[in-house]
């Protein structure tokens, strides 16, 4: 391993968990939430997950059955995106992409109903059960669900490592802005590197 391929804070330990955010068909296919370059990062996400599938947790964003079931601004949000509520969407679109679904099990799935995977206690409880000390976070979108989950992980004191080539967004502008933010403003708490470097540093 060359000096250029070393993470800023050293190798990842065997207690590292790969948290893959919302790599679902409804974001990859022709829907109102289509993320055009999810397909481009999929092989890299797959490589990370296949490296340690038993240490991978896939999240899935699960819309409500109907907008009226959720409070406050979430109701307004799902009134706009009613075609993605569970009453209207094809349930198959909520599933993981096939290239990732075949890793389950031993990989695990965690369904969530908000942007952050840390909104309720289930993820934190599972990470503590595993003795996790670090999180490699991949998936989408860089500037929405990944952002909310990354900040939750930072708040809980986990080491956070982001594979720059395994994150995607439907907005190039805000993706680029967030990658600058992650690696600059949060440099003591968030490490940004290529997936190749991360895999090379994962003991």
Residue 5, pLDDT score: 78
Residue 156, pLDDT score: 98
pLDDT tens, residue by residue, 151-174: 999 999 999 999 999 999 999 999
Residue 203, pLDDT score: 84
pLDDT tens, residue by residue, 112-157: 999 999 999 999 999 999 999 999 999 999 999 999 999 999 999 9
The domain segmentation of the chain, as residue ranges, is: 10-62+95-200
Among the CATH numbers 3.40.50.10540, 3.40.50.850, 3.40.50.2300, 3.40.50.10190, which is that of 10-62+95-200? 3.40.50.850
Structure tokens at 155: 């708040």
Overall average pLDDT of the 79-108 stretch: 98
Nearest to 172 by CA among 151, 130, 142: 142
Q: What is the pTM of this model?
A: 0.95
Nearest to 44 by CA among 164, 161, 141, 134: 164
Q: Are 140 and 82 in contact (CB under 8 A)?
A: no
Residue 1, pLDDT score: 41
Residue 2, pLDDT score: 44
Task: Look at residue 3 and tell me whether its pLDDT is greater than 70.
Answer: no
């Amino acid at each position: 391993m060359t000096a250029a391929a070393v993470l800023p804070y050293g190798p990842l330990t065997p207690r590292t968990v790969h948290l893959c955010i919302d790599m679902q068909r409804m974001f990859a296919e022709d829907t109102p939430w289509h993320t055009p370059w999810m397909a481009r990062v999929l092989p890299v996400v797959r490589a990370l997950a296949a490296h340690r599938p038993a240490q991978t947790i896939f999240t899935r964003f699960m819309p409500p059955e109907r907008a009226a079931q959720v409070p406050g601004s979430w109701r307004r949000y799902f009134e706009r995106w009613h075609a993605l509520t569970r009453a209207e969407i094809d349930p198959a679109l909520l599933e993981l992409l096939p290239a990732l679904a075949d890793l389950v099990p031993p990989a695990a799935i965690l369904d969530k109903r908000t942007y952050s995977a840390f909104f309720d206690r289930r993820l934190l409880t599972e990470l503590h059960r595993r003795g996790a000390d670090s999180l490699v976070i991949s998936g989408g979108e860089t500037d929405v669900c990944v952002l909310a989950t990354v900040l939750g992980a930072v708040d809980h004191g986990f080491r956070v490592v982001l594979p720059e080539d395994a994150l995607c967004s439907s907005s190039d502008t805000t993706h680029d802005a967030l990658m600058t933010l992650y690696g600059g403003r949060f440099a003591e708490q968030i490490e940004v590197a290529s997936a190749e470097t991360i895999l090379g540093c994962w003991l």
